[in-house]
C-alpha cells in the first residue's frame, strides 16, 4: 500500500507541473500527459526489467497468468479470479486454470466426510 500511496503522490505532483497539458483520465499508470500508455511501451519496459533479473522474454500477459495461478493455488475462489481477470464466465476461467487445482476433489471429499461424521 505504501508503494501505491507514494506513486499516487508523485502522480499528483506531476499532474500539477503539467497543468493544462495533463489530461486526467483517472488512470493508475498513464503516460506523461495522462493518456493511456502505448502497449508497446509497457512491453519494452517489462522486457528491460526481465533482463535485469535474467528472465528473458517475459510478456505482460504472462504476469496475468501468474497472478491468476497464484490466487487459485492459494485457495481463492474461481469466481473471484474470474472477476479480477474480466472473464465473461467462471467456466472460462476454469477451462484455462483447472489444472492448477488438482487437490480440490480430495479436499472437497475430506470436508464432506468431516461434515457427515459430525452429524452422527
Question: ∠ at Cα 47 (96, 24), nearest 5°?
Answer: 85
- The residue range of the domain holding 74 is 56-120
- Round the CA-based radius of gyration of the chain to a whole number and report it: 21
In DSSP notation, 11-34 reads HHHHHHHHGGG------SSB-TTS
Sequence-distant (≥ 6) Cβ neighbours of residue 104 within 8 angstroms: none
Task: In whole angstroms, give the CA distance from residue 55 to residue 42.
Answer: 16
Give the pLDDT confidence score for residue 71 in this predicted structure: 92
Asked, for residue 51, whether it belongs to a domain, the answer is no
| Number of independent structural domains in the chain | 1
Asked, for residue 42, whether it belongs to a domain, the answer is no
Asked, for residue 11, whether it belongs to a domain, the answer is no
Asked, for residue 50, whether it belongs to a domain, the answer is no
pLDDT at 18 over 90: yes
| CA-wise closest residue to 79 among 92, 61, 66, 62 | 92
pLDDT digits over 38-88, tens only? 888 888 888 888 888 876 677 778 889 999 999 998 889 999 999 999 999
Which whole number is the average pLDDT over 11-26? 92
> Is the distance from CB of 33 to CB of 61 less than 8 angstroms?
no
Amino acid at each position: 500500500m505504501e508503494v501505491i500511496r507514494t506513486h499516487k503522490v508523485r502522480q499528483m505532483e506531476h499532474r500539477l507541473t503539467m497543468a493544462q497539458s495533463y489530461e486526467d483520465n483517472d488512470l493508475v499508470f498513464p503516460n506523461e500527459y495522462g493518456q493511456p500508455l502505448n502497449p508497446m511501451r509497457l512491453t519494452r519496459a517489462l522486457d528491460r526489467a526481465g533482463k535485469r533479473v535474467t528472465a528473458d522474454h517475459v510478456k505482460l500477459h504472462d504476469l496475468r497468468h501468474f497472478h491468476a495461478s497464484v490466487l487459485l493455488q492459494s485457495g481463492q475462489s474461481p469466481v473471484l479470479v474470474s472477476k479480477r481477470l474480466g472473464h465473461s464466465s467462471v467456466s472460462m476461467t476454469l477451462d484455462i486454470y483447472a489444472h492448477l487445482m488438482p487437490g480440490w476433489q480430495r479436499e472437497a471429499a475430506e470436508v464432506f466426510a468431516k461434515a457427515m461424521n459430525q452429524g452422527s
